[in-house]
Amino acid sequence: MAAMTAPAAAPSAEPLLSTKGVTRWFGGLCAVDHVDFTLPAGEIRALIGPNGAGKSTFVGLLAGRILPTEGRVTFAGEDVTRLPAHARMARGMAYTFQITSIFANLALFDNVALAVQRRLAPGQSLATEVEAALARVGLDDRLDQPAGDLSYGHQRLLEIAMGLAQNPRLLILDEPTQGLSDGEIEGFKVLVREVAKDATVLLIEHNMDVVMSLADRITVLDMGAVLAEGTPAEIHADPAVQRAYLGG
């Protein structure tokens, strides 16, 4: 009698983040077109697509920086469609911008302290939490340096530290490796894998080596709609993705 194969573990009944029919018009332009999207807890998901595909608008809809024309956004079982960004952050979202959003005149310590203060529990040390967040991105030796004096790549790392300092359930990283050296990119990959042990990661990234080596699954947007979704191997082999984005 053939040995029985153990059944695969059942997926979580409820995704951490999902959208249903999310659409955004800007005048006569449909930037995001009826997107259905599901992100399970614990996954590293990459969102890719050609320039103008609607990635930044879609992520803005997820994070609450932009409100949809129609459709619904659900986070941790709650309809957050009309909640502003700060209310979504309070529920466990953290979003690092494509363009850095640090406070250039403040020291690195103070930048991260502003993020830590949003979730600091009684009895926790602000200094300890700040230094731990900066240590995760390799900037703990620059506590007193003004953020504006950092290189662009290090400013991106500071912004990631500010996101991590919030202990998010979902960390959204928008072009995080832009401006990083090859060595820093390798360190970033290690960091994301570590973060993913405790949080879900949504990565918007043009560096396909980073995408293919990190992502559990990839969602491809084109002209505001989902073109394809699958594992890195499936996306790499998809003829429609090759034509639209990968240059195949």
In a domain, 20, yes or no: no
Stronger pLDDT, 195 or 36, i.e. the higher one: 36
Q: 58-88: per-residue pLDDT in tens?
A: 999 999 999 999 999 999 999 999 999 999 9
The fraction of the chain above a pLDDT of 70, given in percent, is 92
pLDDT confidence of residue 96: 83
Is the predicted pLDDT of residue 136 greater than 60, yes or no?
Answer: yes
Structural tokens at position 210: 């980073």
pLDDT tens-digit map of 101-115:
789 999 999 999 998
Residue 2 has pLDDT above 50, yes or no: no
Question: Per the domain annotation, does 31 fall within a domain?
Answer: no
Q: What is the mean predicted confidence (pLDDT) over 152-179?
A: 90
- What pLDDT score does 216 carry? 97
The identity of residue 71, as a single letter, is: G
CB 220 within 8 A of CB 244: yes
> Mean of the per-residue pLDDT values for the chain?
89
Mean pLDDT score, 169-192: 91
Domain-embedded: residue 209: yes
User: Per mean pLDDT, which range of 27-31, 71-75, 174-178, 201-205 is the poorest?
Assistant: 174-178
pLDDT band per the 50, 70, 90 thresholds, residue 3: very low
CA dist., res. 7 & res. 141, Å (int): 48
**Does residue 152 fall inside a structural domain?**
yes
Residue 196 lies in a domain: yes
Q: Is residue 76 part of a domain?
A: no
Task: Find the helix or strand (DSSP H, E) in which 220 lies.
Answer: strand 217-222
pLDDT given at position 84: 94
User: How sure is the predictor about 7, in pLDDT bands with cuts at 50, 70 and 90?
Assistant: very low
Structurally, the chain folds into a number of domains equal to 1
Contact 121, 158 (CB under 8 A): no
Residue 6 lies in a domain: no
pLDDT of residue 119: 84
**Is 12 part of any domain?**
no
Range of the structural domain that residue 103 is part of = 41-65+83-246
Residue 26 has pLDDT above 50, yes or no: yes
DSSP alpha helices (H): ranges in 137-171?
Answer: 152-164
CATH number of the domain within which 122 lies: 3.40.50.300
